Structure 1
């Protein structure tokens, strides 16, 4: 391998590492102060990086914000969706997803609570690529909940369910209220109440009580 190629590869690796480091700061800051506060100057200050370095990595404030949304999505998948996939499709995976979504907020995967809840509140009236990216992530998540509920219904695990999309809408509504109250009151009570509400909604749809009850105990839904 030529020396120039080795040098280029080394620079690329350093650039990728710098990008990941800056984005980790950006998503954490956005969850606390709002995604609209994520700018090249602000992130340079918080990450102790020069403005020119951040500008070289991302170019514009919008591109930085879009990269932050993508990085937040990966962190969400790592902490919520991927762990739940140890369970088969259907009611067990749905319960695992609900369990992990509560833990995601309670464990402060993002220091300000759910990144996407904060970002949606920040950008709901600001049309553009950033709002579209946030909306797409929320749609993907709620859609995944609906697909999981639909599988459960088709497999006879939620026999009383007549509208998986409605169930997903209600489950996400419970999450948003839980996350908001828990972060603004700094208490775990909303997490306990959300787990009870999830269990009750699953029971109303005909879930086996033994499986629905798993959502009450953190981590129980991930066990074989």
Structure 2
């Protein structure tokens, strides 16, 4: 019986943690990580301040936990759909369109979580800045690896610079997110998709075959 009660408390604690982090990710995507406070969350979610504090311990740990949670969401909504595609230009295209869908569909209230917090912490130092930088580096490496995978598989020209192409693709995606959040310009998503398509066509070893994938 004691074990059942303990398991129940643990599950309730885990559920409360998930509820808090769902809210902190949305707040941070709009107001930044500095907009988070244990007192605010307790009030908004109808929880005790001491209970929220017991889950996170400090504002910095709350911020770090929010970043970890956002990384998991980003991986699920952006990286996972592309992983279902065969290696090659089609996987690159799916990765890019998944990012555009993630931003356009407002998975986070303020658009891309990492675009928002990167601007907030880019010139700072400390564990929170380091966690954001690590997440950004992971994303850049992932895009580069998928491009290089396509090059090695023959889907892209042998002289393709994977790092450069990945940089250009990411710039298009992030510009679409910025235009949407700052200017309310939803046409940026179509423009970004056109840019991605054009860059892939220019790099493709067989543009005709690529056309069947990206249109």
TM-score (norm 1): 0.90
1:77, CA displacement in angstroms?
Answer: 1.2
RMSD, aligned CA: 1.5
Instruction: Give the whole-Å Cα distance in 2 for the aligned partners of 1:161 and 1:47.
Output: 54
Distance change (3 Å), C-alpha of 1:6 and 1:50: same
Aligned residue number for residue 156 of structure 1: 154
Correspondent of 1:127 among 109, 120, 125? 125
Instruction: Give the whole-Å Cα distance in 2 for the aligned partners of 1:100 and 1:161.
Output: 27
Instruction: Give the whole-Å Cα distance in 2 for the aligned partners of 1:71 and 1:184.
Output: 24
Aligned residue number for residue 137 of structure 1: 135
1:190 aligns with 2:188: yes
Instruction: Give the whole-Å Cα distance in 2 for the aligned partners of 1:78 and 1:197.
Output: 24
SS at structure 1 position matched to 2:160: coil
Please show how residues 71-82 of structure 1 align to structure 2 within 5 Å: 71-82=69-80
Give CA deviations for 1:28-80 in whole Å, capped at 9, x if unaligned. Answer: 11111111111212222332322111101100001000000011111111111
Aligned residues: 214
Q: Which runs of 5+ in 2 are unaligned?
A: none
TM-score (norm 2): 0.94
Contact 2:28 2:113 (C-alpha < 8 Å) held by counterparts: yes
Distance change (3 Å), C-alpha of 1:70 and 1:58: same
1:83 aligns with 2:81: yes
Instruction: Give the whole-Å Cα distance in 1 for the aligned partners of 2:50 and 2:214.
Output: 47
Deviates more, 1:141-150 or 1:172-181: 172-181
